[in-house]
């Protein structure tokens, strides 16, 4: 498949008579998910003037409802097996109890913390 590159300068010159146009930002990113946040940070560190627009929460799918909550839930789900296995390794584990609202509250707290980074 042949790749076709669009010549921005040429197109701009044809429309406006000049290849130069001034913008408020060097990079404007829509969506503060993993990709948006990373690209904005990198461009900013390289000296670009950047802005980012997010319709929901900073962090996107991975932080807010994907990777991070999934991992916390998976870690939480392992404890039943771990308590059982511990007995085989000589541990005496007392009565255990699981509290779903505590897990959800702590998960939300961690996501709030990550969103603020
Ligand atoms: C349940 C689940 C578990 C996952 N686990 C992992 C994992 O363990 N490891 C891993 O590597 N990947 C995982 N992923 C995949 C990972 O979440 C995505 O690859 C990653 O989030 C993609 O990043 P992104 O920046 O492209 O998009 P997103 O993170 O989806 O960000 C897009 C952002 O754009 C915003 N947006 C969309 N439209 C507009 C608009 N018009 N105006 C303003 N804002 C807008 C959205 O609100 C969102 O915040 C998981 C995904 C899911 C759903």
- For residue range 65-101, list pLDDT tens digits in order: 999 999 999 999 999 999 999 999 999 999 999 999 9
Q: How far is CA 28 from the centre of its chain?
A: 17
Residue with tokens 């921005």: 8
Closest-CA residue, ligand 1 atom 23, reads 34
How high is the pLDDT of residue 3?
Answer: 47
Ligand 1 centroid from CA 105, angstroms: 22
Per-domain boundaries in the chain: 24-55, 68-117
Q: How far is CA 9 from the centre of its chain?
A: 33
| End-to-end alpha carbon distance in the chain | 42
> Which residues, including other chains, have CB under 8 Å from residue 98's CB and lie 6 or more apart?
79
For residue 12, pLDDT beyond 70? no
| Cα–Cα dist 22/20, whole Å | 7
- Of 65 and 8, the structure prediction assigns the larger pLDDT to 65
At 22, the pLDDT band (50, 70, 90 cuts) reads: confident
Where in the chain does DSSP place strands (E)? 27-30, 50-53
């Amino acid at each position: 498949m042949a790749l076709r590159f669009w010549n921005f300068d040429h197109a701009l010159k044809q429309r406006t008579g000049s290849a130069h146009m001034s913008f408020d930002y060097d990079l404007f990113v829509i969506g503060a998910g993993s990709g948006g946040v990373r690209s904005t940070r990198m461009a900013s560190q390289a000296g670009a003037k950047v802005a980012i627009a997010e319709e929901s929460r900073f962090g996107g799918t991975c932080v807010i409802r994907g990777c991070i909550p999934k991992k916390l839930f998976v870690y939480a789900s392992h404890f039943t097996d771990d308590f059982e296995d511990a007995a085989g390794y000589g541990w005496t584990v007392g009565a255990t109890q699981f509290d779903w609202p505590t897990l959800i509250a702590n998960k939300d707290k961690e996501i709030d913390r990550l969103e603020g980074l």
